[in-house]
Amino acid sequence: MKFSQTFIPTLREVPADAVIASHRLMFRSGMARKLANGLFTYLPLGLRAFRKVENIIREEMNAIGSLEIKLSVVAPGELWKESGRWESMGESMLKVKNRTGADLVISPTAEEAVTGIVRDELSSYKQLPISVYQINAKYRDEIRPRYGVMRGREFTMKDAYSYHVDEKSLDETYQKMGTAYRRIFKRCGLAVLPVRADSGAMGGSGSEEFMVESEIGDNTLLLCRECEYAANVEKAGCKPDYEAAGALADAAPLEKIPTPAARTIAELCAFLKTDAKTFIKTLIYRAVNVELDLSDAPGCAFLKRVRLAPEAPAVYAEAFFAACIRGDLDVNEMKLAALLKASEVGLASDADVERLTGAPVGFAGPVGLASLPVVADETTAALNDAVAGALEKDAHYRHVAYGRDFTPWLVADVRTVKAGDRCPACGGELYEKKGNELGHIFKLGYKYTKSMNVRFLDENGASQTPVMGSYGIGVDRTLASIIEEHHDDAGIVWPMSVAPFHVVIVPIKYEGAVKSAADAIAVGLEKSGVEALVDDRNERAGVKFNDADLIGIPFRIVVGEKNLTLEAPSVEVRRRGEPEAKRVPVDAVVQETAGMVFDELMKLG
């Protein structure tokens, strides 16, 4: 390939809105251009690298027996209504109507579409397991797209889906996917951190994210200094930092005390001259689309289950809860939402707090709170001499004892873990890193197959519901992350496996003997299976060298008239990122360069 025959519009200036390396370098190297906010176009150079990432993913998916399909990007809204996500996905899902008035979705993911297809074709256990994948465009109407293709509105995802007769079969595929993901990211030259994660809007019983460390990461990761424990803060647990409470018989009697103008933990600590660890902090939350059965929950007798669409599973459209936690800690809203099986959880308004508790914000507490279900963090179970709100203005209780003065409806881990807490696996100290998610694998369970009524006959002829898994990789984000991890001040430093070309040949002047030698080397490399770009432009050598470094092609071969006229004609070969070039005989350069290229490809797997 000749430079003059492709389209690589390199830039010297950094785009004004590009604040991270991958965004800057993808634009400067002529890989991509912005079409609109959150919408990007890959130019020929960028598409070559993009396709290589795609092909690595495709090879590893095929290797574990997943079968490639291609779905329509536009999906019927009826499928999303069946699953219940027509409403719960919120405004990030782009909904449209066609000319007949039918609801359509520009797919943000494809659980519903694939499940609809499987439902129509599945009849017997003999057809299971089924594992399919696609590499296709998705659209999510991000409020604030940023960082170039790292967080665009339209993006390409590898999304795979599997269906099984039982959990054991699902677990086998889940493990295969995890292994394949590790191979994919290794081949792309990325160091990933597999972490435990919350399933979020996808639902299901378990999931694992594959993260890369990043200063601009959207995720906070908790990692152990002593073992391999790693988790997203949304899911992270920690070793208990409290002892079991003493006997209730030894607890002091409950006492109501005036606390004028003291409603925050800090104000109460100062007023009562005590420590935040002796408080029970009570927060009132509003939950949306709650799937958990609330029939025995205090204050929920009036709630009625509804269907957001005729085919959708029944949910409580709105419910309120009190969450209690030790005063020095914070409630993890993602854990709370997962516990309640809610699509969304957020703090209740001041008006709702006063309506539900009878007291202004700051004076809620679990003692005597009959109007709401109380969800207590495990830390509260160790308190039998605590301070808590008394459900009236300017008043608190002290000597509050768990199990004597209040009994929660649910007790669970809803604590936000932070750096310095202890690892739940080994007790080592946890520390924080920022990360970006590249891939996510889910054990979805029966969330979609039950709501969409997928059935098959088992070996005894009984009708059963298959269990499901879902597995995604962001292709654009993976490509951008490779650049984030592999660049220097001069430009991109591509791993060989995803470089748009393996070698760039730079003739000092593309004419005469230099032209003949450069073309012959290119032909030889191409015959050897090495992708070569000849910079045949009528530009100064310095411009060509700078562009070669900016584009990041792994090997540069410089062909100059002076070296060709030596008694032993030679060229200069330089590995991108290394300071010195080495002189290689012209008649050996193809074999030697091809050998180095294939050696690096072998190392990456």
Contacts of 374 (CB under 8 A, 6+ apart): 298, 321, 322, 323, 324, 366, 406, 408, 409, 410
Q: Give me 27's structure tokens.
A: 């634009």
d(CA 395, CA 388): 9
Which DSSP state fits 402?
B
A 10 A CB-CB count for 471 gives 27
Identify residue 114 by its one-letter amino acid code: V
pLDDT in tens, 298-343: 999 889 998 876 767 788 999 999 999 999 999 999 999 989 999 8
Q: Give me 523's structure tokens.
A: 């032909």
- Averaged pLDDT for residues 580-592: 95
Burial pattern 487-510, b for ≥16 Cβ within 10 A else e, equals: beeebbbbbbbbbbbbbbbbbbeb
SS3 167: helix
Angle at CA 448, nearest 5°, toward 442 and 449?
110
The per-residue DSSP string of 74-98 comes to EEEHHHHHHHTHHHHTGGGSEEEE-
- In terms of C-beta density within 10 A (0-12 exposed, 13-18 middle, 19 or more buried), how is residue 396 classed? buried
Burial pattern 560-572, b for ≥16 Cβ within 10 A else e, equals: beebbeeeeebbb
The per-residue DSSP string of 559-586 comes to E-HHHHTSSS-EEEEEETT-S--EEEEH
A 10 A CB-CB count for 277 gives 16
- Averaged pLDDT for residues 257-284: 90
Which DSSP state fits 380?
G
Check whether 413 has a pLDDT greater than 50. yes
SS3 195: strand
Q: Is 80 in contact with 89 (CB distance < 8 Å)? A: yes
Q: How confident is the model at residue 560 (pLDDT cuts 50, 70, 90)?
A: very high
Backbone φ and ψ for 149, nearest 5 degrees, come out as -75, -5
pLDDT in tens, 446-483: 989 999 999 999 999 999 999 999 999 999 999 999 99
A 10 A CB-CB count for 351 gives 9
pLDDT in tens, 346-388: 999 999 999 999 999 999 999 999 999 999 999 999 998 999 9
pLDDT in tens, 151-163: 999 999 999 999 9
Residue 67 CA: distances (Å) to CA of 52, 64, 130, 135: 19, 9, 9, 11
- In terms of C-beta density within 10 A (0-12 exposed, 13-18 middle, 19 or more buried), how is residue 463 classed? exposed
Check whether 201 has a pLDDT greater than 70. no
Burial pattern 109-131, b for ≥16 Cβ within 10 A else e, equals: bbbbbbbbbbbeebeebeebbbb
- Averaged pLDDT for residues 180-197: 92
pLDDT in tens, 540-550: 999 999 999 99
List of domains in the chain: 17-70+107-236+432-483 (3.30.930.10), 248-412 (3.90.960.10), 501-604 (3.40.50.800)
Half-sphere exposure of 586 (CA within 13 A, CB side): 21
d(CA 365, CA 390): 6
d(CA 540, CA 524): 26
Q: Is 596 in contact with 530 (CB distance < 8 Å)? A: no
SS3 374: strand
pLDDT in tens, 17-66: 888 999 999 999 999 999 999 999 999 999 999 999 999 999 999 999 99
What's the whole-model pTM score?
Answer: 0.86
Per-residue confidence (pLDDT) for residue 198, from 0 to 100? 57
Which DSSP state fits 313?
P
d(CA 515, CA 472): 47
Average pLDDT of the chain is 93
Residue 139 CA: distances (Å) to CA of 75, 96, 108, 445: 12, 13, 5, 25
pLDDT cut 70: percent of the chain above it:
98
